[in-house]
Chain A
Amino acid sequence: MIKRVLEKLMSFFFAPVSLIPLGFFRISIGLIALFLLIQLWPHLLSLYGNFGFIQWAIIETSTDTWFPSIGKLYLLVEPYRVSPEVCVYTIFSIYGLALIGFVFGVGVRICAFLVWLCHISMVNSGFTSIYGLDTMLQVCFFYALWMPLGQSLTIFHFLKKKKKCQSVLSSLSIRVLQLHMCVIYLNTSIAKMSGAQWWNGEAIWRALMQPQFSTFAYDWLSNWPFVPKLLGWLVLIIEFGYIFFIWIPQTKKFWLISVVLLHAGIAIFMGLPLFSLIMIVMNITAFGWSVGSGFFVNYQKYVYKFRKVSFQYKG
């Protein structure tokens, strides 16, 4: 019995997968983080500096914890007369350089470690300014530490100096990400369902009417209250249904497209493009590819067709 369960588990977690999604994941999260860094660069001292809007005396965690932060780095280098500003720019410069290496696939493990370390320092030093994007980036960078992200789509693969090689961790990585995505959608859908606003449409109305998120005029919705109500229900169905229908082959594509469209909608109508983009990237990495029935590129089909054509040609 135990042997059978173990066999089932092994075949679920170690089924062969394409290596492309892991390369896609590495490049995509790297580019999102790099774009974010470029955008925030002129504001680094205001957001993370000792004399920024939240001074280190307030934000810094206790010195006896293990959590890395820019303030803790400063405590280490202060005897060498390094200023807090230099500390901030050093951390973010290392972060930027590591991200470039990460995207190109040069020293992926080392770059992933530096990116993860710098990002957690950034999160700890700017805890009051973070939001969903930072949480997701930290999740992704943590996975980047142990996922074999350098097995495909690196600069060495493009220069033909390295061949793609399957690792047992590739399949496990995708499965863990898939299950984590389900936890995310289950958590967010249950939280939404526990309030009245998502059932009566007020959540959609309020979100779209907020100046922070409002990209267009939505006051006409008050004359059509069933529209936000319907949209609210749709969000609940897509998010809660995700944990079931994303696993069923017949509904997988439809659910993946639905959730991608949901995030695209958040990007367009609520002006949160980076958060939406990272959710889309995580979804496509987790469920966008599969051996034999690839969603975006059906590699097996193309290889089969190519072999068939070349066989016929030779014949």
Chain B
Amino acid sequence: MIKKEHVYLILALVHLGLVNLFIWTSYEDEDSSKWYSWLRVYRDFSGCFRDYSYFAPNVANDTRAIFITKTDSDTIQFLPFKVDNEVANIRYNNIISSGMRNPKARDLFAKSWATAIFGYDKSIHNVTVVTEAYIVPAMSDYKKGKRPSWEIIYAGSFEKQVE
């Protein structure tokens, strides 16, 4: 006779099976049919939308961004893409690194950041987005005198279109 415990156990095993499926394969992304879309819903609802390969296989370069803004009175300002709160800064850093990850999407994300800056101060009419990556030399190179440096990976200028 099937007991309540058996049902719970089957559900738990199915869940763990799906967790493994989502983490180790991209099976749910292979098709756009209804069955696959339900799998994607379950994946996102259960928090398995990303694998757990943190800092792996390699540690990525740190990134930072600054905005060079020009106001109507031709004042130039340098605004860093960071705030005085470390918890929030981790998120801003993630926005920068995920925006710069795909070279094809860089313009799109930089434009989005510039739009936010235009909204931040109405007198700003031009925003230049500069993004840099922190290049850390290998330990052996560091020992030989090579030092970490910020290198520009993206620069884009955006002009506000006034109708």
Contacts and interface: CB of A to CB of B under 8 A. Distances in A.
Interface in A48-89: 51-55, 58, 65-67
Nearest to A214: B62
A187 interface: yes
Given A42-B85, A142-B46, A53 B95 contact: yes
Given A128-B98, A176-B12, A43 B56 contact: no
Contacts of B6: 6
Interface stretch (A96-104, A132-140, A284-292): A132-140
Contact of B94 (A130, A172, A188, A211): A130
Given A40-B91, A192-B55, A195-B56, A202 B16 contact: no
Given A128-B98, A168-B8, A206-B59, A51 B119 contact: yes
Contacts of A212: 62, 90, 93
A298 interface: no
B86 interface: yes
Contacts of B58: 195, 197, 203, 206
Nearest to B51: A187
Given A53-B112, A54-B109, A14 B143 contact: no
Interface residues of A, number: 78
Residue among B45, B56, B85, B88 with the highest chain A CB neighbour number at 10 A = B56
A228 interface: yes
B142 A219 contact: yes
Interface stretch (A158-166, A177-185, A254-262, A302-310): A177-185
B66 interface: no
Contacts of B95: 47, 53-54, 128-129
B156 interface: no
B99 A135 contact: no
Contacts of B36: none
Contacts of B115: 51, 55
Interface in A1-44: 6, 9-10, 13-14, 36, 39-40, 42-43
A95 interface: no
A47 B59 CA distance: 25
Interface of A: 6, 9-10, 13-14, 36, 39-40, 42-43, 46-47, 51-55, 58, 65-67, 120, 123-124, 126, 128-132, 135-142, 168-169, 172, 175-176, 179-180, 183-185, 187-188, 191-198, 201-203, 205-207, 209-213, 219, 221-223, 225, 228, 271-272, 274
